[in-house]
Chain A
Amino acid sequence: MNPSKWLFFLGCTVPYRGVSYEISARRVLTKLEVGLVEMPEFNCCGLPLDPVSHEAMMILAATNLAIAEQQGLNILTLCPGCAGTLKKVNKTLKEDKLQKDKINNHLIAAGLTYNGTIEIKHLLEFLKEDVGIEKIKAAITHPLTNLKVAEHNGCHILRPKKFISFDDPEDPQTLKALIKVTGADCLDYIDETQCCGAPSVGVSDTIALQLVRDKLNHIKIVGAQALITICPSCHIMYDTNELRVEKNFSESYGIPILHYPQLLGLAMGLTPQELAFDELRVNAGKITQQPAMQTAQKTTSNC
C-alpha cells in the first residue's frame, strides 16, 4: 500500500456536469502536494443501479474495490455518492464473510478478487484527516476575510451513520472548519442538513425545485454571499436551478454556488480562471471581484 498516492475515482456526475469541481480539486490537491493516480479503467460505483438491483450494485462496487486493491492504492473521490457506496460495500463485505465469498464467486468472471485491503475517502474527509487543517492553513496566502458563506454537506457524505462515521450527521462540523480555514465566515442557518432533492428530480422536479427554493431562502435570510457544496449532484441542483426557481417562484437570490475547492483555491491565491469559475451558471463575479481577490489575480499574473 502506498500511503502517499491515491487512486482518483472520478465517478460519473463529475466529468458529466461537474467539470469545474474536478478542475478546482485537481489544482488545490496539486498545491497541497497530493499525488493522484488515474483509474486504469472505469465502471460506475453502482449507486444508480441500487434501485434496480441491489446485487448488481454490490458487484459494481466490489469490482471497483478489487481494481484499486490490484493497484495497491486507497481510493479518493470527489462524489459523496461514490464514496458512500464504496464504503458501504467495503464495510459490508469486510464484516460478512458469506457475502464476501458470494461476491468473489461472481468476480471470478472478470478475473478479480475482493480482499478488503483498501479504504475509501471523500475529498472532505481526506482534507481533514490526511492533509490536515494545519497544512491547509499554511497554504492560505489570500484569506477571504470579508466573505460570508453558508455550507451544504449533502446526504451521502454523512449518512447512514452506521456506514459513514467521520462526522456528526445531525451537526456536521468538518466542512465548516475547512471553510473557516480560508478566512471566510461560515454562517449557521435553518435545516442545514436538508437534502437537495437531486435523486428525485427525474421523477418529480416540482418537489426537487421546492427543496432548492427552501435551501436558497434559508441561506438568503442569514445573508450568505455564496453556498459551498462538496457534492457534484447538490451543486447541479442549486447552480442550475437557482435561475429557474427565481423565475418560477418570483424570488431573487443572486447567490453563487461554489465547489469547496474553488473557495479554497481562491484563498490559496489561484485565479478564478484556474478554478473554472467560468463553468458556473450563477455568476460569481461578486465574490471574485472583492479586493482580496483582485490582489490575488494581480500577484498571479505578475508571476
Chain B
Amino acid sequence: MINAQSLSIRERHLKKLAHRGAIQIGEITVMTEVSIFNQGKKQPIKASEIDPTFKYELQKIPGAEKILRCFQCGTCTSDCPIARFSDTYRPRTLIHMAQLGLKDRVLNSDTLWLCAACFTCTDRCPQNIDVDSVIRVFRNLAVEKGCIPQMFCDQAQNIVETGYAYKMPQTRIKKRESQSLPPLPKGNTEALKKLLKGIKFFERVQPIQKPQGENQNEP
C-alpha cells in the first residue's frame, strides 16, 4: 500500500531525477522498478519474516565478521557512486536489514547486484567494516538460493567453459595475428573443473551448469 505522503515524496524524487536528465530520454529510463522494499511498495515488517539468527550466521562468514559494528552512520551510502544515481540501492539499508534479521528481503533484493565493487565504502567506513565484502557475502548466499542476475551467471559460465570471463569471438582471436600479437593462451579448463568440483561449486551454485563435452578448451 502506498500512502499519499510517500507517493508525493517519490514523485518529488523522480522530478529531481528528471531534472538531472535521468528519466525516459530516448532508450534510457529511470530504474524505479527495483526496490529492496518489494518493488517500491513499502511493506511493514512482519515478525514472522525475522530470522534472529541471521546476523550470527553472517558473523561466522569471512568478510562479514564485523557486520554488527555498523551503527548506521550512512558514510557508505553517501559515498556510494551507485547510490548517487539509484533511488533504491543503499548499502546502509542492506546492512540494517541484515542486522534486523530480514534474511529473505536482503537475499532476494535486486539492488544487491548493483554494487560496482569500487571499495569506497570499505575505505571510508569509520567502523572498519569491509562493506564490499559484506555485500559479496550477501550475493554468495543469494546465489546459493538460486538468485543471480544473468550477467553474473554468464560470466561464471564462460570461465568454467573457456577459462575467460567472455566468449572470445573467433574473429578477435584471428585478428591478433595480423596485429602481430602473440596467440591467446588457452584456458586450462580441465584443471579448473577439478578445482571447482573440489569445493562442490556445481552443487552449491545451482544456476551454473557443469560444462559438458570435450571441446571446452577453445579460448
Contacts and interface: CB of A to CB of B under 8 A. Distances in A.
Contact of B151 (A15, A59, A203): A203
Given A43-B192, A206-B31, A12 B166 contact: yes
Contact of B116 (A26, A112, A198): A198
B184 interface: yes
A250 to B, nearest CB: 8
Query: Which residue of A41, A51, A160 has the most chain B CB atoms within 10 A of its CB atom?
Result: A51
B81 A194 contact: yes
A12 B162 CA distance: 11
A22 B184 CA distance: 12
Interface stretch (B6-14, B90-98, B100-108, B200-208): B200-208
Interface string A195-212: 101111011101101110
Contact of A48 (B25, B159, B172, B197): B159
B25 A202 contact: no
B26 A23 contact: no
Interface residues of B, number: 73
Query: Which residue of B82, B139, B205 has the most chain A CB atoms within 10 A of its CB atom?
Result: B82
Contact of A12 (B63, B132, B164, B179): B164
Nearest to B29: A206
Q: Interface residue tally of chain A, by bracket?
A: 35 or more
B27 A248 contact: yes
Contacts of B205: 52-53, 56
Given A194-B81, A211-B85, 8 more contacts: A41-B186, A49-B155, A52-B205, A109-B191, A155-B117, A202-B150, A203-B151, A248-B28
B201 A199 contact: no
Interface in B5-46: 20-22, 25-31
A100 to B, nearest CB: 14
A276 interface: yes
A182 to B, nearest CB: 24
25 contacts: A12-B164, A15-B164, A16-B165, A19-B179, A22-B181, A23-B179, A38-B182, A42-B163, A42-B186, A43-B159, A44-B164, A48-B165, A49-B155, A53-B140, A54-B63, A54-B140, A56-B201, A59-B199, A106-B195, A109-B198, A159-B119, A160-B119, A160-B132, A161-B123, A203-B113
Given A200-B114, A210-B85, A44 B163 contact: yes
Contact of B152 (A43, A52, A213): A52
B185 interface: yes
Contacts of B84: 211
Interface of B: 20-22, 25-31, 62-63, 81-82, 84-86, 110, 113-120, 122-123, 130, 132, 136-137, 139-140, 143, 148-153, 155-156, 159, 163-166, 168, 172, 175-176, 179, 181-182, 184-188, 191-192, 194-199, 201, 204-205, 208, 219
Nearest to A206: B31
A109 B200 CA distance: 13
Interface of A: 10, 12-13, 15-17, 19, 22-23, 26, 38-44, 48-56, 59-60, 63, 106-107, 109-112, 155-156, 159-161, 169, 193-195, 197-200, 202-204, 206-207, 209-211, 213, 247-250, 276
A154 B197 CA distance: 34
A276 to B, nearest CB: 7
B166 A53 contact: no
Given A48-B155, A52-B205, A54-B63, A41 B185 contact: yes
